[in-house]
Amino acid sequence: MLIDTHTHLYLDAFDEDRPEMLDRALEAGVSRMFLPNIDSSSVEAMMDLCRARPGVCFPMMGLHPTSVKENYREELVLAEKGLDSPGIIGIGECGIDLYWDRTHIREQEEVFRTQIGWAKERQLPLVIHARDSFPEIFRILDEEGSEGLNGVFHSFTGGEAELGKALGYGFMIGINGIVTFKNSGLDQVVKHLPHDRIVLETDAPFLAPHPFRGKRNESTYLVRIAEKVAEIFDLNIEKLESISSANALRLFSRVV
């Protein structure tokens, strides 16, 4: 059994073949798929998919940092209301993204702090998006305090120093198709990742692993990521699947 802990299967990239894609994933052994939200525009499609595939697709609620614009307060109100929707398993995805645009960095920080508060209040795991922003993310976590907080650094791309800091908060580390990229260097970092702190993800439809790089990603390809991580850890694939799935279920404890 494999669990895709971060996948956006509700996006329009899957509109033409979503049922077939989900069936492929299940046939490949990916039994559960966790869906982080983006903003108010994605909630309906995400919840519809989770209702259509109960026990397979599970929703989260949050505001993605690249969706933090002038109307961010309105978006936060809607996201907080969405937390009362049935079956929400986590807060996210949230965090700071300074790769695309630094215009709203202060607003991104405010939104991130707000969602940290939600995670603490509701005892839900926090799913952190950190792109070109590890110093800012770490500063905010230090200021807000990580006591009573758990979660995952999704799509981890840091080095050994960032890995050590992230682990120090007690968080899991989300590893996706980047680990299969020839020159990413992530495989050398993953060698230092404790086995009980790894979860696997695709971030579909983005970041397809080798040999599908540049094409649409899907949860089926989680198998390729698992194979690469098993090779790095020098484990057989069955053991790696067992470890990563147990970690995912421990973190996302509301999954049934």
Note the pLDDT of residue 113. Answer: 98
The answer to whether 158 touches 188, Cβ cutoff 8 Å, is no
Note the pLDDT of residue 8. Answer: 98
Q: What is the pTM of this model?
A: 0.97
pLDDT tier for residue 238 given thresholds of 50, 70 and 90 = very high
pLDDT tier for residue 100 given thresholds of 50, 70 and 90 = confident
154: nearest Cα among 220, 111, 206 = 206
| The pair of three-digit structure tokens given for residue 78, joined into one six-digit string | 């809607």
Note the pLDDT of residue 101. Answer: 84
SS3 sequence of 32-93? EEEECCCCCCCHHHHHHHHHHCCCCEEECECCCHHHCCCCHHHHHHHHHHHCCCCCCCCEEE
| The pair of three-digit structure tokens given for residue 129, joined into one six-digit string | 């998006």
Please report whether residue 136 resides in a domain: yes
Domain that holds residue 23: 2-251
**48 pLDDT higher than 90:** yes
Please report whether residue 236 resides in a domain: yes
Residues 234, 49: Cα–Cα separation, whole Å? 36
Please report whether residue 51 resides in a domain: yes
Note the pLDDT of residue 142. Answer: 97
**10 pLDDT higher than 80:** yes
Please report whether residue 256 resides in a domain: no
Helices (H) and strands (E) in the chain, counts: 9, 8
In degrees and rounded to multiples of 5, residue 216 shows phi and psi of: -65, 130
Output the average pLDDT for the chain: 97
pLDDT tens per residue across span 218-236: 999 999 999 999 999 999 9
Torsion-angle region of 222 (φ positive above 0: left; ψ -120 to 50: alpha; else: beta) = alpha
The answer to whether 65 touches 112, Cβ cutoff 8 Å, is yes
* CATH number, domain with residue 94: 3.20.20.140
Please report whether residue 94 resides in a domain: yes
DSSP three-state, residue 169: coil
Domain tally for the chain? 1
Nearby residues of 52 by Cβ (< 8 Å), 6 or more positions away:
none
The answer to whether 55 touches 26, Cβ cutoff 8 Å, is no
Note the pLDDT of residue 256. Answer: 77
Please report whether residue 68 resides in a domain: yes
